[in-house]
Chain A
Amino acid sequence: MSTIGSVAAAVFRESVRDRVFYNLVLFGLLLVGASILIGQLTAGQDVKIIKDLGLTATSLFGLFIAIFVGINLVSKEVERRSVYALFAKPVTRSQFIAGKYVGLLLTLLVNVAVMTVALYSVLFFLARGVPAPIQSAWDAPAMDPALLKAVLLIFVDLAVVTAVALFFSTYSSPMLSAIFTLGVYLVGQFNADLKRFDAIVDSPAAIAVAKACYYVMPDFSRFDVKLAVVHGIPVSGAFVAATAAYAAVYIAALLFGAMVIFARRDFK
């Protein structure tokens, strides 16, 4: 366990060294700038739009980090040949994969946490001074704790994307890994269509293949509750827990798959 922790800490330190957290400055500027501009551009709805923008930016920035850092996690070590020195130490390949994953997840967690604090801060300042009768007309309060459910599922979504990127990173080049990961992410967004394939196709074989793909591919649309939370539509704790459990199992499958592939790789 301590070995995994050491690898994870090294990944986290490297992401700090690579200035990954510079995106937080951009995020902060985007939110503050938007909160000033939105009021001039729209008729009301400032709070709704800031929530939309904040959650979208949290998700998008995290997605870029998950993909573009994730695809390099293993391949960079192999290219630099630092993997040889690493495996000369008491580190198994499985520990290496798990440590890399946990390290990037930690980076994403810090990123998402800081962005959430920034979003709540901007919402606090935006709502300050707005009379109570006007606030009562909003779909959801500015400092709505339910936003955290959307943030949690964004983090879960990013955790799955990271696992996909790491999986591809174990056996292909960074460029191909990026393409594959983006492809899986896009297919996962439209996954629900595969379930309804029988509505447009008559072939039982095609329907069976589509259904199989539906269950095998990660369903990224499940992690999106941004719209519901922004409009104050209840998102049950059971739904969040079930979705997080689904993600955890899927991540485990990808990590075990990555470990199997990486264990068979010949570095000679």
Chain B
Amino acid sequence: MTSLVAGRAGPAAAAAVCLAAAVALHVAIDRWPPPAIDTPGLLYVRSPEVARRAALSYDGVAADVYWIRALQHFGTERLAPPSHVKDYSLLYPLLDLTTTLDPYFSIAYRFGAIFLGEPYPGGPGRPDLAIALLKKGLAAQPARWQYMQDLGFVYYWHLRDFRSAAQAFQRASEMPNAPNWMRPLAAVTLAEGGHRNASRALWVELAKSEEPWLRNSAVQRLTQLDAMDIMEAWKRARDQGLNPPIPDDPSGTPFVFDPATGGIIISPASKLFPLPGQLQAPR
């Protein structure tokens, strides 16, 4: 060791040797992974007002950090293995912090509302919080028709409250720069009380999103709507005295006969499970 450290190259060589030893030890200890502990998420600052003040004039970048945390929290819980009890309890506080730090962070309101409304276990199943988030966005930017459209969407898809949905679409259509398809959408929703066509129109619009995950989600929803069409047609045929065979859903999994209704329902094994209203989220 003395001879190693001696001379000009000694310390550099010693540092390199120690680093190599540390890497080797790291590789070795990776063979014994630490016991898996399902640690709950932690949020040190829960008060949006405290976070806003603590951020000084760097609230924009602090909002970005909380937004990334919200995405990671949602993604981690959503993609967690089945053994993990999915807990989305930090999602709304993180989104609340994000949007207080940056009240104009439109994507946090819009995507956040989609995340919050997703039925459990794919999301927290909290359309009430999705509505609260979008209303907060509307308070910050009252002329954003997109927030009002998203509000109508939450009422329509998650709460099946077609009257409130139609009102929201109507109000969105009256906002500046709202697209011309918004008014017919409001009319269809109001007139038909939840016709699947109106729902399709919404998802088709979302399927044009720039975000691949949102496009994929929209395609999944459109496929679910196709499955609902098949279920309805099958029930109609059965009610007419026919005895149709149990078909496969559009994802290729056979439907399941439901003795309670005399119809067919989507199998829990299907990629399309759950259909809207098929599962209640824990509160």
Give A residues with C-beta under 8 Å from B. 41-45, 48-49, 52-53, 55-56, 59-60, 133-134, 137, 139, 186, 189-190, 220-221, 223-224, 226-227, 230-231, 233
Contact = CB atoms under 8 A, between A and B. Distances in A.
Listed residue (B56, B59, B68, B111) with the most chain A CB atoms within 10 angstroms of its CB: B56
Contacts of A224: 57
Given A44-B211, A134-B210, A56 B71 contact: no
B213 interface: yes
Given A53-B64, A139-B104, A227 B59 contact: yes
Interface string B112-125: 00000000000000
Given A52-B64, A53-B64, A139-B104, A44 B58 contact: no
Contact of B68 (A41, A137, A226): A41
Nearest to A53: B61
B56 A231 contact: no
Contacts of A133: 210
Contact of A230 (B60, B67, B71, B210): B60
Interface of B is mostly: helix
10 contacts: A41-B68, A43-B107, A43-B111, A48-B105, A52-B63, A53-B64, A55-B60, A227-B59, A230-B60, A233-B104
A221 B57 contact: yes
A224 B64 CA distance: 17
Contacts of B111: 43
Nearest to A223: B57
Contact of B61 (A43, A56, A186, A223): A56
Nearest to A230: B60
Contacts of A231: 104
A155 B53 CA distance: 22
B71 A43 contact: yes
A134 B64 CA distance: 20
B22 to A, nearest CB: 24
Contacts of B63: 52
B210 A137 contact: yes
